[in-house]
Amino acid sequence: MIAIIGILASMLLPTLGRAKERAQMTTCLNNLRQLGIATKLYIDEHKGTSPRKWIPRVDPANGEAIGGNWNTQFTMGGPDAKPEWMDEDLEAPPARFRPLCPYLPPSAVFRCPKDAGQPADGVKPFNWVALGCSYHYNAGALYWVMHGDLNQDDSAMGPRRPFAAPFADHGQEFANKPESWVTDPSRHILFYEPPARIYCDESLFRPKPTCHWYQWHFAKPVTEFLDPRLARSRFVSPIAHVDGHVASHDFSRRILEDIWFPYKPTADWLWYKPGDDGPE
């Protein structure tokens, strides 16, 4: 009898695990749907213009400008960051100054239940804990790996070729733009999680860039990779699109079929609007 119970339990556990994963993904999709609604409210109250990526730094005590800017790409809303992320260099604005705060107050809506942080980028143990927000705004500055072996000197490997076309605005993308600026809103990415793209440190343009890929949903057991080809799980991210719909996308095939060209558009998503500007 005990053996039979053990067999039945072993058959049931994977099903329960998959159900839990689906429930967590559903939570993220619902969160992103609310972020999309809040963004639309912001746009409607700002003369049809999308949230800004850079906002003036102010003294939290009195709201007076103190020079410089905060970067809101990773903190469009949510609770206050850890104290070490509240300084000028790391540019995490206090919660009440974040663009979406008036439309979606700080709450667990900004938390992905599978948030595993970005340790190599100093965001740990979780993005939610460090920054107050698990979700990223598609506000440009897409990193890429220099053509050649991952994280190796590629000075003799030829030119970088990470993008299918020049950018309309690599530095900010949709941020601080008229809503009409986006020409394909059903595919254009508005919010995403780290597994959707690559992250590199400041040595990006030096001979030996250090780049990382992250996995949150379905990650077993490692969530961070210097080479995505070593990953055992998929690179899955829930996405909010500019037109308001949300979806779960698997970025694994696009990342792995050409590691140096991860931002190719597909029938389901579009990372950036093509234009006349080259990569920064």
> Which pair of tokens denotes residue 155?
């000075």
108: helix, coil or strand?
Answer: helix
DSSP 8-state code for residue 131? H
Q: Cα(191)–Cα(21) distance, rounded to whole angstroms? A: 20
Tell whether 128 is covered by a domain: yes
Poorest-pLDDT segment among 25-29, 116-120, 272-276: 272-276
Supply the mean pLDDT for the chain.
85
β-strand pairing of 198-200 with 211-214: antiparallel
Sort 139 into a burial class: Cβ within 10 Å, 0-12 / 13-18 / 19+: buried
Backbone angles phi, psi at 244, to 5 degrees: 105, -15
For the stretch 10-26, pLDDT in tens is 554 455 446 778 899 99
Choose among 23, 31, 220: nearest CA to 112.
Answer: 31
Please say if the pLDDT value at position 2 is more than 90. Answer: no
Tell whether 269 is covered by a domain: no
Please say if the pLDDT value at position 129 is more than 90. Answer: yes
> Which pair of tokens denotes residue 129?
């804990």
257: helix, coil or strand?
Answer: helix
Tell whether 163 is covered by a domain: yes
Q: Which run of H or of E encompasses 250? A: strand 246-250
Q: Cα(71)–Cα(53) distance, rounded to whole angstroms? A: 6
Predicted pLDDT at 146: 66
Work out how many domains the chain is built from and give that number. 1
Tell whether 252 is covered by a domain: yes
Tell whether 89 is covered by a domain: no
> Which pair of tokens denotes residue 213?
């890929």
Stronger pLDDT, 144 or 206, i.e. the higher one? 144
Stronger pLDDT, 7 or 170, i.e. the higher one? 170
Tell whether 62 is covered by a domain: no
Mean per-residue pLDDT, 124-152: 84
> What is the residue range of 160's domain?
2-50+114-257
> Which pair of tokens denotes residue 81?
């960051």
The neighbour count for residue 268, using CB atoms within 10 Å, is 15
Predicted pLDDT at 65: 85
For the stretch 191-244, pLDDT in tens is 999 999 999 875 544 555 688 899 999 888 889 998 898 888 899 999 999 999
β-strand pairing of 224-225 with 246-250: unpaired
Stronger pLDDT, 190 or 146, i.e. the higher one? 190
Q: Which run of H or of E encompasses 192? A: strand 189-192
Poorest-pLDDT segment among 44-53, 103-112, 117-126, 197-206: 197-206
For the stretch 51-102, pLDDT in tens is 999 999 988 888 888 888 999 999 999 999 998 887 655 678 999 999 999 9
Tell whether 105 is covered by a domain: no
Tell whether 59 is covered by a domain: no
Q: DSSP for 14-77, please give it.
A: HHHHHHHHHHHHHHHHHHHHHHHHHHHHHHHHTTTBPPPSEEEEE-TTT--EEEEEEE-TT-SS
